[in-house]
Amino acid sequence: MVIVREAHGLSEPSGPAGRPLSWSRTVAREAVHRVSVAEVLLTDVRTHGDNRFEAAAQWPRSHPTFPHGGDGRHHPLMIAETLRELGIYIPTRYYAVPAGAHFLIRDISYRLDPETEPRAPYGASDITCRAAVTDIRTSPCGRFVTGMRLDVVLSAGGKLFAWAGGTARFLDGTTYAETRAAAHGHTARRRLRAAVRPSPAQLAVPAARDVLVVRDGGVVYLDPADPRHPFFFDHWSDHMPGLVLLEGARQAAALATGGTLIRPVVCRMKAIRFTESYPPAVVECTSHGRTCVFRLRQAGICTAVGVLQYL
């Protein structure tokens, strides 16, 4: 495979050759589309050529949205957030995707090995990631990268513990505006007449602001309690972010099973189209033993589908 960095005339990042990864400070918040430095997990990235990379991330034990479990285990969605940050940093740093491009998740997945996942008895866990870029898409002229797939293996303390992957598209401002104009059509607010918001304990989340779903007349809707949540809505978005869909599905599964299914160790989700902020999307979950299949529908149209698996 041709190395895209070379094909597009990109240079290697500056720095000592063969230097070890660093967990001393986070990368620039803008490089991973975050407003708050406190929400950045990625600390270092370097290339090994041939579309392969090595990266460092730090998972804090005290993350307010995804705190560690009672035995020091981190929330599985930290895997998805690490993948999201790498999926923004690598294309902009190494493939000349403009920092102002719109990044759209097409699919995302992860698999966690509970036997080897890290415990954080003290401040944080240092995570090492090895990433590979494949399925690179370019514009018709071949000058611009418009999409790619990223697969990542995560380890801590020398032990592999998770695998994650995803595909994304990158749209410039004009293309994005045209895409959004075609997607709009059902943006009016809908009042949920008898909505009941579950307690944080029912969904295994730390606080009321972390609750993303409500139940209204036996139907579960994606309706975040805090539209300015410091993690899920760290910056403004004109649609529901991918991690909101994923966590909303996890919460709906917990609600549907009476708290039986809480911590997914395998996840797969495909975004079919934009999930708008309004009207609230319906979240449908069907459990089959330790597996839950979910679907989000909005105005009768399916916007995302996926599967969560539990031990």
**Per-domain boundaries in the chain:** 27-178, 184-308
The pLDDT value recorded for residue 61 is 87
Architecture in CATH for domain 184-308: Roll (3.10)
Q: Does the pLDDT value for residue 189 go beyond 70?
A: no
Question: pLDDT tens digits for 231-265?
Answer: 999 999 999 999 999 999 999 999 999 999 999 99
Angle at alpha carbon of residue 21, lines to 17 and 25, rounded to 5°: 120
Average pLDDT over residues 171-182: 90
What is the spatial distance between Cα 272 and Cα 301, in angstroms, rounded to a whole number? 10
**Domain range 27-178, its CATH number among 1.20.1250.40, 3.20.20.70, 3.60.15.10, 3.10.129.10:** 3.10.129.10
The pLDDT value recorded for residue 191 is 60
Of residues 66 and 144, more confidence is placed in 144
Q: Does the pLDDT value for residue 5 go beyond 90?
A: no
Q: Does the pLDDT value for residue 190 go beyond 60?
A: no
The pLDDT value recorded for residue 66 is 83
- pLDDT, averaged across the chain: 90
Q: Does the pLDDT value for residue 65 go beyond 60?
A: yes
The pLDDT value recorded for residue 19 is 80
Average pLDDT over residues 146-169: 98
Question: pLDDT tens digits for 21-51?
Answer: 999 999 999 999 999 999 999 999 999 999 9
Query: Could you check whether 27-178 and 184-308 share the same CATH topology?
Result: yes
Q: Does the pLDDT value for residue 280 go beyond 70?
A: yes
What is the spatial distance between Cα 188 and Cα 270, in angstroms, rounded to a whole number? 25
The pLDDT value recorded for residue 12 is 36
Query: 250 CB contacts (<8 Å, ≥6 apart)?
Result: 77, 264, 308
| Distance of alpha carbon 244 from the chain centroid | 8
Average pLDDT over residues 99-128: 93
At 3, the pLDDT band (50, 70, 90 cuts) reads very low
